[in-house]
Structures are given as C-alpha cells and as structure tokens.
Chains A and B, each alone.
Chain A
C-alpha cells in the first residue's frame, strides 16, 4: 500500500434548491429540493422517465437548469460548465475513448489538467492496483470485457480524487453475477475513498444494498428521501411502498377489505406479501387464483374483494387454485395511505390496528 491509497478524499455536500428542468411545457424535473450529505452514498431511484438521469446530468453540468440552484460544497455551481465543477462521472455506456489505451483513458483528465508525468504514472499505478487493472493498461477498450471496461471507467473517475463522483446506471450493461460483484466493489471503494457519491439506478435492489440515502423520484418529483431501511419499513407514499420490495407491496383499497375499512373509508391498505400469514377468521379473505412455487416459499395470488393480493407462504402448506383462504398480519406491518394523495396516514394506524387485534 502506498501512502496515497490511505489518503481519503474529502467529500462535499451537494444541495439542490427548487431545481426545475422543463422541456417546453413538460417538466422532466419538477421543483426538487434535496441535500446529498458530504461523503455519503446517495442513490437517485425511480422508474424510467422519472427525471433521475436528468437530475444527475444537471449536477454534472451536462444539462442546463431551467430554474433553481445547485451548490457543491456550499459553492453555487448552477451556471458553471461541466469542466469546471470539480466532479467525476461514470456513464452507463462507460464512454471510454476507443482510440486510447486503458492507461491513456484513465489519465486523460490528469493530462488535460497538465499534471506532471511522474505524478500521473504514480497515480495510475495506484488506481490500476486498486482496480486490478495492471495487466490491461496497454490494451484498447475494444479488447476488454464489459466488466473490465467498467473498471477502466471507474479508474478514470477516481484517479483525479474529486470530492464528488456521479454514476449513471453504471451496472446496467453487466450480467447478474458481475453486477453483484461490482455493487460490493463500488460501495467498498466509495467508503474507502470517502467521496460523495450520486448514483442513478432504476433497480431497487442496487439502491437498497448500496445507499446511505435513497432519493425516490416519480414523475419529476421527490416521493421520499430516506435511508434504505426507512424506505422499506415506512414508505411515505403508496408509490414508494410499491416500488421498494420484491414482489411489491399489496395496495388494497378499503372497499376490498370491509372488515378493516368500515370506519376508515377512502384509504389504501398496504401489506407486504411476506407480512401475510394464514389465519382462520383473519381480516383479509380471498380466493386463490394462481400459485407460483419458488422453492422455500410459495407466492399465492388471491382475489380479495376484486383486488389482486400476493402472499408469500412457506412451501410446507399445500394450497390449490380456487381455495378460500383468510390471512392475518402483525399490526405493525400494516401501512395506511390516503386514497387521493397517496400519502402515508400513520394517524389511522392505532385505530385500525386495534381492530386487527380484535378480529
């Protein structure tokens, strides 16, 4: 280990204030305000078209901000061009320069900034060792596998020791096994070097496993900003509840659950498939439609008052299509959302929770 490797980069805080990106009349990013803490791993998560990539590109300076302000480390950089923002970025397509060797690709930024040759070589060696690239330095990007190209792109991002690193779906072109490895590696790298990471993905598993903080976006607006645990356990909206977790949470209108909904009209009940357990006389009653056998568990889809409800049951219990089943659940696994706004309604939990226990 050289001394350089132990030198941590001081991450800088990124702040977005009322940021809007409009294309004509439509707003890709609609009035977003959020703080990405210094040195933290923040994931921008959401379905495609939710504005997460646009947000990242605005932080990078590749996309102009229609209104609002972005600061990095307390400095307003809204009008600055990309070259002067002191950031690094990994692109979805890696964006390696095809005519340059791996070494030239990694040191491109240093060369552009006229860093002395001796220091370039020194840093290149450190980064190459860190990423396991020493044997590939003379190759061209076209001679590398997808995973190796990914590493080169990472190398180019970390060699300049910038306080902020942006990543735009960097793992989406890799196969499942490699993706898992790189997930662990990127997370470890970020913790070791200490820069502020902004990571865009549509994959909730990536978000949950890597993030310190998740910013969940939908339709250009923020649904929730929370750490992964809070996002899973206390989703702020019905959208957040359905987006996190696999299979997604069941969202059941109160009309489909008359036993629970009689004195709480116009709400949505949220129940995770893993929270449902078979209980005779339980409040969730339905008829089995399909069964999906997963080995340890079985996913059972039931028709509950006209709504499809998934339950994850231990495979020991044999269930057949057409069976009438009733489920219960622990009171603290019930989520309640407003039917019109989709917002979480914790104020109704106690009231309905008592009913659950009594039924």
Chain B
C-alpha cells in the first residue's frame, strides 16, 4: 500500500517536471550533445554523408590561425570590457545612490543603454565613428587632429567595439550594484563615520567588501557576455578588417552559416563551452575565499 503511494508520488513528480524537461532537453541538452558528436564528424555535403574523423577537427582548430586570432581578440575584448564596465557600474551606482538633485533622471539615463535594442544603438554609434564627419572626428578635429577610420582600421576596430560594449553593459551592471548598495544598512556607514573614517576609507573597508557577492555575480555574467555578444559586431564591423574585430562566437557563426562547415563549427562550439565552464568554475573558487555572504 505504502509502496504504491510512493510510486504514485514519483509518477506525479515526474509528470510535473516533464514540460520544463522537454524544452530543456529539446533546446539545450540534445543540441549540446549533438554538437559534441558532430565535432568528431566531417560536414555532410549533398549526397555525401558525414564521416567520422576522430580528432581531426580538433587538430585543424589548433592549426587554424584565425581561431587563435579570434581567441586573442576575445581575451583582449574581455580585459577591455569587464574591469572597465564593472568599475564604471560601481561609480555610477554610488553616484545615483547618494541624495542628489535629479537622481531619478540620472538613474534612467544610466540604464537607458540596456533597454535600447543594440541594432538601433549601433546605428547611432556608427554615426559617432564615421570617418571625417562623425562625432568623434568632429570633436577631435577641433583640436586639429586628423580624421580616423575608427571601425575600418585594424588598430582601432576592436577598441571601438569595446567602447560600445562598455557603454552598453555598465548601466546594466549598475542596477545590480544599486540594489546591493541599498541593502547595506545605513548605520554601518554611520558607525564607520563615527570611528573617524573618511568616504574613501568607508568605500574600501566597508562598502566594497560588502559588494563582493554582487561583484562575483556581475563578473561571471560579464565573462559570459563577452563570449556571447555578437550582434554589435555584425552591425559595426562585420568582424573586419582582416578579422581584427572578430570574436569567437562571431567566427563560429561565420563558419557554420556562411561557409556551411557545420562539423568544424561544432568543434569550435565545444571549445567555447569548455572554456566558459572552466572560467565560471575558476571564478567561483577564486572569489569564494574573498566573498562575504550574509
């Protein structure tokens, strides 16, 4: 009798899980496993089916100069966007957390880039970057500096994309910091003031350590975003010139849907997944010792 009831609970439990599981499997797990499997096969073409290649695709990846190029770009992109956008987010959050006139407006202004669709935003930035008569060149022209093809030259293309990304991400991260700042009891700051601490000391000794859980969360998100963002590259540079601004995911997209090399694209995807997993795990272990959770 009891066993029967237990069995029925199990069935109901699984039935309740089923809808979510179907979608999770159909759109996450099965594609991931299929990708892993395809990464060991050649790309099927016409009447020629996929052929098992073993690790040949991986060998090709390690020998592929473009792969290393986009990986390097991605690293530079991460180093350029993550610390800068986090620092900006904290500064903006501290600013709009204080009592200042027009606080609501400032908060809205900082968050606007997150709300705007990137395609629309990128068009505005395209204008800013236009050689000769774009905003930047006009401003620099006032000081007699020559025009620059910001998005068109290999030296500046990736950095120009980084600026757009920081502008876009910082406001989003600011929201998390703002929420965290408001959760810090005001009396802690007052107690530190009474103990003789100035604003700078209060920030580094009290506020910043108490924001650590948020910093962990935000930095993991930032890292994932670094590998996840492609839309602005499509609009701004299309990966060029000479792959100077191509990132890993952009390269995967090109390989899969422009060159139709789905086998090799699957291999690159697996590499990306492995890297993301290692980064996330590493961050957790690295931060865990330094983060104070309430």
Contact = CB atoms under 8 A, between A and B. Distances in A.
A171 to B, nearest CB: 16
A33 interface: no
29 contacts: A62-B190, A62-B193, A62-B194, A82-B190, A82-B193, A83-B195, A83-B196, A83-B197, A84-B196, A89-B190, A89-B191, A89-B194, A91-B187, A92-B187, A93-B185, A95-B187, A95-B188, A97-B192, A97-B206, A98-B292, A99-B209, A99-B212, A99-B292, A109-B194, A109-B195, A109-B197, A112-B197, A142-B294, A160-B195
B28 interface: no
A108 B195 contact: yes
Interface string B174-214: 00000000000101101111111110010001100110100
Closest 10 CB pairs of A and B: A109-B195, A99-B292, A95-B191, A95-B187, A82-B193, A83-B196, A99-B209, A89-B194, A112-B197, A91-B187
A177 interface: no
Contact of A82 (B194, B201, B209): B194
B210 A112 contact: no
B194 A83 contact: yes
B122 to A, nearest CB: 41
Interface string A67-98: 00000000000000111100111011101011
A97 B188 contact: yes
Contacts of B196: 83-84, 109, 112-113
B187 A87 contact: no
B210 A98 contact: yes
Contacts of B294: 98, 142
B191 A83 contact: no
A62 B294 CA distance: 26
A312 interface: no
Interface string B206-224: 1001101000000000000
Contact of A83 (B188, B193, B209): B193
Nearest to B198: A83
A58 interface: no
Contacts of B209: 99
B197 A95 contact: no
A98 B292 CA distance: 8
A353 B294 CA distance: 64
Nearest to B290: A99
Contacts of B201: 112
A161 to B, nearest CB: 13
Contacts of A62: 190, 193-194
Contacts of A92: 187
Given A98-B292, A99-B292, A142-B294, A93 B187 contact: yes
Given A93-B185, A109-B196, A112-B192, 13 more contacts: A62-B193, A82-B190, A83-B194, A88-B194, A91-B187, A93-B187, A95-B185, A95-B187, A97-B206, A108-B192, A112-B197, A112-B201, A156-B195
A109 B202 CA distance: 11
Interface of B: 185, 187-188, 190-198, 201, 205-206, 209-210, 212, 292, 294
A60 B187 CA distance: 13
Q: How large is the interface on A (under 10, 10 to 19, 20 to 34, 35 or more residues)?
A: 20 to 34
Nearest to B193: A82
A87 to B, nearest CB: 7
A88 B294 CA distance: 26
Contacts of A95: 185, 187-188, 190-191
Contacts of A160: 195
Nearest to B197: A112
A99 B210 contact: yes
Given A98-B294, A99-B210, A112-B201, A91 B195 contact: no
B287 to A, nearest CB: 14
B190 A91 contact: yes
Which one of B193, B195, B294 has the greatest number of beta carbons of chain A within 10 Å?
A: B195
Contacts of A89: 190-191, 194
Interface in A101-159: 108-109, 112-113, 142, 156
A338 to B, nearest CB: 41
A93 B189 CA distance: 13
A157 to B, nearest CB: 9
B193 A81 contact: yes
Nearest to A93: B187
Contacts of A83: 193-198
B205 to A, nearest CB: 8
A61 B195 CA distance: 12
A61 B191 CA distance: 11
Nearest to A104: B205
Contacts of A109: 194-197
A60 B194 contact: yes
Given A98-B294, A99-B210, A91 B191 contact: yes
A208 B187 CA distance: 28
A97 B208 CA distance: 12
